[in-house]
Amino acid sequence: MKKLFGRRKLIIFGSTVASSLFIKACSTKPSTNSNPKTSLLEFTNVQETIKVGILHSLSGSLAISEKSVVDAERLAIEEINKAGGVLGKRIEAIVEDGNSDPVIFAKKAKKLIEQDKVATVFGCWTSASRKAVLPIFESNKHLLWYPVQYEGQECSQSIFYMGAAPNQQIEPSVEWLLKHKGKEFFLVGSDYVFPRTANSIIKAQLQANGGKSVGEDYIPLGSNDVNSAIAKIKQALPNGGIIYNTLNGDTNIAFFRELKASGLYADKYPSMSVSIAEEEVKSIGIDYLVGHYAAWNYFQTVKTSASEKFRQAFKAKYGSDRVVNDPMEAGYIMVYLWKQAVEKAKTADQIEKVKAAAYGQSFDAPEGEVTINVNHHLSKFVRIGEIKNDGLFQIVYETTEAVKPNPWNQFLAETKGYACDWLNPSKGGKYKI
């Protein structure tokens, strides 16, 4: 190995032509292998790359949603590398599979931080996986960029939350349903922290606004046994009503197919989902979802120049039949926001400087201009879409400007009046307004 290194070093310094060829070879696209082999660059000049981690489920019940987010993150990295990289260095992605298992997510997060020495990690999907890795990032004073909407009630200095807080998705969708679809809600979700916390928020909001939760049911994450939940919906809403859906992963396939088979159609039993986007619509089947709704910050049908550019670039790289969606958009833009913070901080390795530089960073995202707040969340646009026959969403509601995030819920008594401000150490993750 020493001979190999010495020979290459001689070539680099001895020939301008060979040097040019060597640099070109080192600028090729990173391997897609989740356990990449040691690259040529690592034997020569490792300072020419910045390693980052990508940690999502490439297998298991949540791969239906997470694989496409990896694709979007890779697209952003490729674009940045083609434009000159970050601080003149190429981004090298090390991809790990969380296998839809929080225990494995934690193990892989530890590997990325301690063995691979990545500058940051882009990853996770469920709140269960995020909470599993959180202590690892905090104890190592490291940084995770998280691309998915979530239940709030958390504000870690070690995470930038790029998806919606409840006041940017769940609460506006409940308000819209109360105004346009009725007062009676049945709450169905996967059995873990996000759906249970989200439903606590929804019940408190309904109580405050004249609505009513007529029942709720939870299905184990990854289970396809949905018959009991559908029987409870029919019993609680014999004449129709709203189904608020916080199911995650491929349980949605079984749920919506059985919903239609049981005669619970969208005209009388409209559902509002917060984890079903364009990618999931394709997997579940359009015929089972037409007329149902979803709440997100971004849909492929958003008409902005940045949205069109994102959509075209993604299809050009991965195929014209592919779609883009909200978590993919969040995954894509968070790579760019990290790049901006690193360039402002003039370092990728000093994470405290990167975090400080991230505050106030804005980006012309496909959804509209977004900005990182001092509570580590993004200001985001709110949208509700109805699923149409082409499998895309017709936007039926959208805000005219980005909504500021509040991770501490104002409907729940235990967090009402609280906020988060990491720019001010005396306030930190939770303080009374």
- Nearest 5°: the CA angle 179, 185, 187 is 135
- Cα–Cα distance measured from residue 336 to residue 338, given in angstroms and rounded to the nearest whole number: 5
Could you identify the residue written with the tokens 């390795």?
A: 349
**Span of 30-44, 309-323, 398-412 with lowest mean pLDDT:** 30-44
- 127-139 vs 102-114: helix axis angle to the nearest 10? 30
**Position 310 pLDDT exceeds 60:** yes
pLDDT-derived band at 109 (thresholds 50, 70, 90) equals: very high
Region 69-93: what's the mean pLDDT? 98
pLDDT at 7: 38
Nearest by Cα to 71 from 38, 93, 51, 87: 93
DSSP 408-420: S-SSSTTTTTEEE
**Which one has a higher pLDDT value, 87 or 31?**
87
pLDDT at 206: 98
2-165+306-381 with 167-302+384-432: one CATH topology? yes
Nearest by Cα to 196 from 236, 151, 237, 241: 151
Decide if 204 contacts 234 (C-beta within 8 A): no
Decide if 344 contacts 361 (C-beta within 8 A): yes
pLDDT at 399: 98
167-302+384-432 CATH: 3.40.50.2300
- Cα–Cα distance measured from residue 221 to residue 61, given in angstroms and rounded to the nearest whole number: 8
pLDDT at 16: 41
Long-range contacts of 239-242 (CB under 8 A, 24+ apart): 239/268, 240/182, 240/268, 240/269, 241/182, 241/184, 241/185, 241/186, 241/214, 241/269, 242/177, 242/181, 242/182, 242/184, 242/185, 242/186, 242/269, 242/270, 242/271, 242/272
Give CA separation, 66 vs 24, 254, 375, 420, in Å: 32, 19, 25, 28
**Position 6 pLDDT exceeds 70:** no
* CATH architecture of the domain covering 2-165+306-381: 3-Layer(aba) Sandwich (3.40)
**Position 82 pLDDT exceeds 80:** yes
- Cα–Cα distance measured from residue 341 to residue 357, given in angstroms and rounded to the nearest whole number: 5
pLDDT-derived band at 168 (thresholds 50, 70, 90) equals: very high
The DSSP bridge pattern shows strands 184-190 and 90-97 to be unpaired
pLDDT at 425: 87
pLDDT-derived band at 22 (thresholds 50, 70, 90) equals: very low
Q: What percent of the chain has pLDDT over 70?
A: 89
DSSP 57-92: -SSSTTHHHHHHHHHHHHHHHHHHHHTT-BTTBEEE
Helix H or strand E segment including 395: strand 393-398
**Position 374 pLDDT exceeds 60:** yes
Kindly report, residue by residue over 203-240, the tens digit of the pLDDT.
Answer: 999 999 999 999 999 999 999 999 999 999 999 999 99
- Cα–Cα distance measured from residue 293 to residue 40, given in angstroms and rounded to the nearest whole number: 49
Region 316-332: what's the mean pLDDT? 97
Kindly report, residue by residue over 24-35, the tens digit of the pLDDT.
Answer: 344 433 433 444
pTM greater than 0.75 (yes/no)? yes
Helix H or strand E segment including 196: helix 193-208
Kindly report, residue by residue over 334-343, the tens digit of the pLDDT.
Answer: 999 999 999 9
Kindly report, residue by residue over 127-150, the tens digit of the pLDDT.
Answer: 999 999 999 999 999 999 999 999
Region 252-274: what's the mean pLDDT? 97
pLDDT at 18: 40
How does the average pLDDT of the chain come out, rounded?
91
Nearest by Cα to 324 from 43, 59, 58, 69: 69
Sign of the Cα pseudo-torsion (236, 241, 409, 161, in order): positive
User: Can you give the residue ranges of every domain in the chain?
Assistant: 2-165+306-381, 167-302+384-432
